[in-house]
Amino acid sequence: MHLSWLTLLFLVPTLCVGMPSTTLCVDDVRGTGDLGVVVERATGSVLIVETTTHTRLAKIQGLGDLSHASVVFSRDQRYAYIFGRDGGLTKLDMLRCEIVKRVMQAGNSVGGAISQDGRLVAVSNYTPGGVKVFDAATLELLADIPTQGSKVVGLVDAPGQRFVFSLFDAGEIWVADMHSPRSPKIIKFKEIGKQPYDALISPDGRYYIAGLFGEDGLARLDLWNGEVQRILPNYGKGDIKKPVYKMPHLEGWAMAGDYTFVPAIGQYAVLVVDGQRIPVHGQPVFVIARPDGRHVWVNFAFPHNDTVQVIDVMAMEIIKTLKPGKAVLHMEFTPRGEEVWVSVRDDDQIKVYDTETFAEVATLPADKPSGIFFTARAHKIGL
């Protein structure tokens, strides 16, 4: 029996994680509240990371075209759903470090969402347009919502088991009630503005705000009463528009305290919905509030994408300018905001900063990193 006991002890750690298909990322039971996924866009791979001691746990290959990829998480924070640009939808087990299921759901997708109850995953498509809804457990297709060829953007989940999204070409916002997953009820809001190109939902899930590319301004849908309002209708008027190298990401919009901070398209400015305008270093891409709302972090489009600036919300001015490195693509705060992870694509690095002192506390190697997503998103409406 002595040999068998050695065998036993030797094999247990592997068996505990079910012989993962790649590197062994979890050699024992562990919590999943401090996990995250980093997209490596050029190589179609992702890193599984943890934020407590800033480590890489595993690298997962074979996820296809991950340019403009995004990630949502299961409500137990064990599984990540990764939406690739090529229409690939991948369910990743972050504890076993393996791909559970992967489907190619359309030719060209740009984002996804998970339902309030965690049982449905929705994917929006550029080509051929439309939204597809899958069973989060099996990735079985449950519903296909056509949009008459219109590109779908700004897909988010909303309270009441709903998905909300915008039709770029049609200039409409649609709300899909998914209580019956195979027969969604669609409410359409028409003529909300020209060419909605992205959108976000307020942290409480009440306001859905779409940015308009075809005109100045934003369209705001109040999901409590169904009213659509135009906000910031003339924010670009009179400004000489610079060429737009990169569209801002609206899911990055910052709602801090009583203010909403918006990246101005083609301008070197962050706009506050109350009308204030804060000049910044370049064309903002992500404008993200620290979880406590005291600071707002901003990164920029080429040629200023080596820089990050920090706005103090009380002073309404820039208090810090950082130079993380070449091509800063994304920033993600730890759930309580004590640190922020920054992806620096062309330096093949993730840099972690203390958000109070702005000191660099860790650096992790990553292959052309873009999006960073932490599992705390599982508990948040619209993320």
Quote the CA–CA distance of 129 and 140 in Å, as a whole number.
19
Decide whether 233 or 293 has the Cβ nearer to its own copies.
Answer: 293
Count of positions (residues) in the chain: 383
Residue from 96, 151, 220, 304 binding its own copies (CB under 8 A): 96
Residue from 246, 266, 337, 348 binding its own copies (CB under 8 A): 337
Largest Cα separation within the chain, whole Å, is: 84
Residue from 19, 23, 31, 226 binding its own copies (CB under 8 A): 31
Query: Per CB under 8 A, does 373 bind its own copies?
Result: no
On the CB side of 22, CA atoms within 13 Å amount to 20
CB of 264 to its own copies, least distance (A): 25
Query: Per CB under 8 A, does 90 bind its own copies?
Result: no
CB of 94 to its own copies, least distance (A): 8
Quote the CA–CA distance of 21 and 11 in Å, as a whole number.
16
Query: Per CB under 8 A, does 21 bind its own copies?
Result: no
Place of tokens 């457990």: 137
Q: Are 349 and 16 in contact (CB under 8 A)?
A: no
The pair phi, psi for residue 377, each rounded to 5°, is -60, -25
Query: Per CB under 8 A, does 140 bind its own copies?
Result: no
Q: Residue 182: count other Cβ atoms within 10 Å of its Cβ.
A: 9
User: 317-322 and 328-333 as β-strands: parallel, antiparallel, unpaired?
Assistant: unpaired
Amino acid letter, 163: F
Q: Are 221 and 207 in contact (CB under 8 A)?
A: yes
Stretch binding its own copies (CB under 8 A), from 6-14, 192-200, 274-282, 301-309: 6-14
| Interacting residues of 15 by C-beta distance below 8 A, sequence separation 6+ | none
Residue from 70, 116, 125, 195 binding its own copies (CB under 8 A): 116
Query: Per CB under 8 A, does 359 bind its own copies?
Result: no
Among residue numbers 208 through 237, which ones bind its own copies (CB under 8 A)?
A: 224-225
Q: Are 381 and 158 in contact (CB under 8 A)?
A: yes
Query: Per CB under 8 A, does 297 bind its own copies?
Result: no
CB of 223 to its own copies, least distance (A): 9
CB of 93 to its own copies, least distance (A): 9
Among residue numbers 237 through 256, which ones bind its own copies (CB under 8 A)?
A: 256
Stretch binding its own copies (CB under 8 A), from 242-250, 292-300, 320-328, 364-372: 292-300
Query: Per CB under 8 A, does 118 bind its own copies?
Result: yes
Q: Are 350 and 38 in contact (CB under 8 A)?
A: yes
Quote the CA–CA distance of 202 and 208 in Å, as a whole number.
6
Query: Per CB under 8 A, does 146 bind its own copies?
Result: no
Residue from 42, 99, 318, 381 binding its own copies (CB under 8 A): 381
Instruction: For residue 369, say if its preceding peptide bond is cis, omega within 30 degrees of 0.
Output: no
Dihedral sign from CA coordinates of 270, 192, 209, 377: negative
Decide whether 91 or 304 has the Cβ nearer to its own copies.
Answer: 91
CB of 90 to its own copies, least distance (A): 17
Paired residues of 174 in beta bridges: 165, 188
Binding map of its own copies across residues 60-79, x = CB under 8 A, - = no contact? -------------xxxxxxx
**Residues making contact with its own copies (CB under 8 A):** 1, 3-5, 7-8, 11-12, 15-18, 26, 28-34, 50-52, 73-79, 95-96, 116-118, 159-161, 204-206, 224-225, 256-257, 291-294, 314, 334-338, 356, 375-376, 378-381
